[in-house]
Amino acid sequence: MTAHVVEDTQPRREQAAAGDLLIETRNLTKRYGARIVAVDNLNLNVRRGEVYGFLGPNGAGKTTTLRMLLGLIRPTSGTARVLDLEPGVPAGLARVGALVESPAFYPYLSGRDNLRVLARYCGAGDAQITDALARVELSDRAKDKFKIYSLGMKQRLGVAGALLKNPDLLILDEPTNGLDPQGIAEMRTLIRAIGQGTRTVMLSSHLLGEVEQICDRVGVIQSGRLVAEGTLAELRGPGGLLVRAEPLDDAWQAVQNLPDVTGARIVDGAIQLATNPANAAAINRALVQAGLAVSELRPSTNSLEQVFFELTEGASAQQTPGAPQGAAIQQQGAGTGVRQ
Ligand SMILES: Nc1ncnc2c1ncn2[C@@H]1O[C@H](COP(=O)(O)OP(=O)(O)O)[C@@H](O)[C@H]1O
Ligand SMILES: [Mg+2]
C-alpha cells in the first residue's frame, strides 16, 4: 500500500530509516502437501526499532511465517533475511528472542530457576535474570513454582526468558491469546515498554484493536498473502466525502457518473465517496442538479474496521471453529453495507 497520509493520530516514535530492514522476506512460501499454501509469496519489511504488528485472522499463516523467520521450519520457496542473516543461524538466534506458542518451562521449578536454566544457554548472569523478572513484573513471585502461575504470569515469564539475551529483535506470536482482560492489559503495556528505543518487536495478532494500541506499522496477512503493509494512517487511506441524499437509490446512480470520484459505497444509509474533499461543492451542485435532496455533505475518514473488513473479507469461511467471536478482524464492520 502506498503512503499518502503523513498525519497520524497516535504518538509515534521517529521511524527508522526505510531500507534499514531487520526482517525482509521475498516471495516467502510454505506449502503443506499439494493443497495447503500456508504462506503464499510473502514480502515483509520490518524496520529496525519499530513495533510491527502482523495482523491476520486465524489460519492466515502468521505462526507459519514466524516459525520460518526463526528457522524452525524451512520455506518451500522464497527467502527470508533476519538481522541480515539466514533464519536459524546461531549468530542470528543469539540476537533474537521469541515466544511462539506456549513457553516450555519446568512446572516444579520456580520462575527464577526456570530462567536460570535458560540463562545457561545464552550466557546471562544473575543480574540479567533479576532485571528480566523486574521487567515483566514477576520479582515478587520469582520464588513460586511455575505450575502455580496464572496464564498471564506464565506468558510474562516467557517474555522474560526471551529478554534474557537482551535481543535486538523480539518475536511474539499472539502473546495475549487466552489471557483475561487484566492479563491482556499487562501484556500490552509490557510489549509497548519493551519496544521503546532501538529494539524491534514483531507481534502477531488477530485483533485489530491490539495492533492499533501497540504497533507502529502493520502487515495484514490473509490466506497466506500480505494484503497491506504500512502505518495505520497509511492503511486508513486519505478519506473522502460522506454524502446523505434522498432518494438514496437515485443518489447512488448519480454518484456513479461523477468525475474525480474513484470509489463509492453505502455505509449506514449514506454514501461514502473516495474523492478529494475539495470536490464537495462540485459534487453538491451535481447532485442538486440531478434533483436530489442533499441533507449532509462532509469530509470523512475511513474507519480502520471497514478497511480491515474489506482487506480480509472472505476470511470467515476459513475461520477456525470455536474461535472467539466479536473481536476478530474479519467480524468487524458488521452492519455496514457494501455495494459495488
Ligand atoms: N504442520 C502443518 N501441516 C499442515 N497444515 C498446516 C501446518 N501448520 C499450519 N498449517 C495450515 O497452514 C495454515 C496457516 O496456519 P497458521 O500459520 O498456524 O495460521 P495463524 O497462525 O495465522 O493462525 C492453516 O490453514 C493451517 O491449518
Ligand atoms: Mg498462529
Tally of domains in the chain: 2
Q: Cα–Cα distance between 218 and 54 in angstroms, integer?
A: 6
Query: Among the atoms of ligand 1, which is closest to the Cα of residue 57?
Result: 22
- Atom 7 in ligand 1: residue holding the nearest Cα: 32
Same domain for 260 and 182? no
Same domain for 156 and 47? yes
Separation in Å, CA 270 to CA 75, 252, 255, 293, 336:
46, 9, 12, 13, 10
Q: Tell me the CA–centroid distance for residue 62 and ligand 2, in Å.
A: 5
pTM over 0.85: no
Q: Which residues line ligand 1 (CB under 6 A)?
A: 32, 36, 38, 56, 58-64
pLDDT band for position 6 (cuts 50, 70, 90): very low
Last residue of a domain, one of 234, 267, 282: 234
**If you average pLDDT over residues 136-161, what whole number do you get?**
95
Same domain for 180 and 286? no
Q: Which ligand is nearest to the CA of 173?
A: 2
Q: Which residues of 34-45 are buried (b: 16+ CB within 10 A; e: fewer)?
A: eeebbbbebebb
Cβ proximity of 204 and 54 under 8 Å: yes
Q: Which ligand is nearest to the CA of 174?
A: 2
In a domain, 340, yes or no: no
In a domain, 335, yes or no: no
Q: Cα–Cα distance between 12 and 22 in angstroms, integer?
A: 19
Last residue of a domain, one of 170, 204, 234: 234
Does residue 134 have a pLDDT over 60? yes
The alpha carbon of residue 117 and the mean position of all alpha carbons in its chain are separated, in whole angstroms, by: 32
Cβ proximity of 129 and 161 under 8 Å: no
Residue 39, H or E segment? strand 36-42
Please tell me the number of Cα atoms within 13 Å of 149 on its side-chain side: 31
Q: Give, as one character, the DSSP assignment of residue 168.
A: S
Same domain for 196 and 245? no
In a domain, 253, yes or no: yes
pLDDT tens, 100-118? 977 789 999 999 999 999 9
Mutate to test the pocket of ligand 1, among 35, 44, 64 (most ligand atoms within 8 A of CB): 64
- Atom 8 in ligand 1: residue holding the nearest Cα: 64
Same domain for 99 and 217? yes
Cβ proximity of 328 and 281 under 8 Å: no
Counting residues of the chain whose pLDDT is more than 90, the rounded percentage is 66
Amino acid identity, residue 59? G
In a domain, 91, yes or no: yes
In a domain, 37, yes or no: yes
**If you average pLDDT over residues 151-165, what whole number do you get?**
93
Query: Among the atoms of ligand 1, which is closest to the Cα of residue 60?
Result: 22
Q: Which ligand is nearest to the CA of 58?
A: 1
- Atom 27 in ligand 1: residue holding the nearest Cα: 59
Counting residues of the chain whose pLDDT is more than 70, the rounded percentage is 86
Query: Among the atoms of ligand 1, which is closest to the Cα of residue 33?
Result: 4
Residue 279, H or E segment? none
In a domain, 338, yes or no: no
**If you average pLDDT over residues 11-15, what whole number do you get?**
41
CB atoms near residue 206 (< 10 Å): 25
Same domain for 262 and 228? no
Q: Domain of 162: which CATH number?
A: 3.40.50.300
Mutate to test the pocket of ligand 1, among 32, 101, 177 (most ligand atoms within 8 A of CB): 32
Same domain for 191 and 270? no
Query: Among the atoms of ligand 1, which is closest to the Cα of residue 174?
Result: 21
Same domain for 190 and 159? yes
In a domain, 266, yes or no: yes
pLDDT tens, 281-295? 999 999 999 999 999
Tell the residue number behind the cell numbers 449514506, with chain if given.
Answer: 270
Does residue 241 have a pLDDT over 50? yes
User: Grid coordinates representing 251?
Assistant: 443518489
Q: Tell me the CA–centroid distance for residue 206 and ligand 2, in Å.
A: 9
Q: Which ligand is nearest to the CA of 223?
A: 1
User: Grid coordinates representing 139?
Assistant: 520479582
Structure confidence at residue 302 (pLDDT): 72
In a domain, 6, yes or no: no
Same domain for 40 and 158? yes
- Atom 5 in ligand 1: residue holding the nearest Cα: 32
Q: Environment class of residue 143 by beta-carbon count within 10 Å: exposed (0-12), middle (13-18) or buried (19+)?
A: exposed
Q: Cα–Cα distance between 253 and 249 in angstroms, integer?
A: 6
Same domain for 217 and 199? yes
Please provide residue 336's backbone torsions phi and psi, each rounded to the nearest 5 degrees: -105, 120
Same domain for 182 and 284? no
Mutate to test the pocket of ligand 1, among 36, 173, 205, 227 (most ligand atoms within 8 A of CB): 36
Q: Domain of 254: which CATH number?
A: 3.30.70
Assign 18 to helix, strand or coil: coil
Q: Cα–Cα distance between 28 and 86 in angstroms, integer?
A: 13
- Atom 25 in ligand 1: residue holding the nearest Cα: 59
Range of the domain at 131: 13-234
Query: Among the atoms of ligand 1, which is closest to the Cα of residue 58?
Result: 23
Does residue 67 have a pLDDT over 50? yes
Apex 174 CA angle, 101 and 68, nearest 5: 60
Same domain for 96 and 185? yes
Last residue of a domain, one of 184, 201, 234: 234
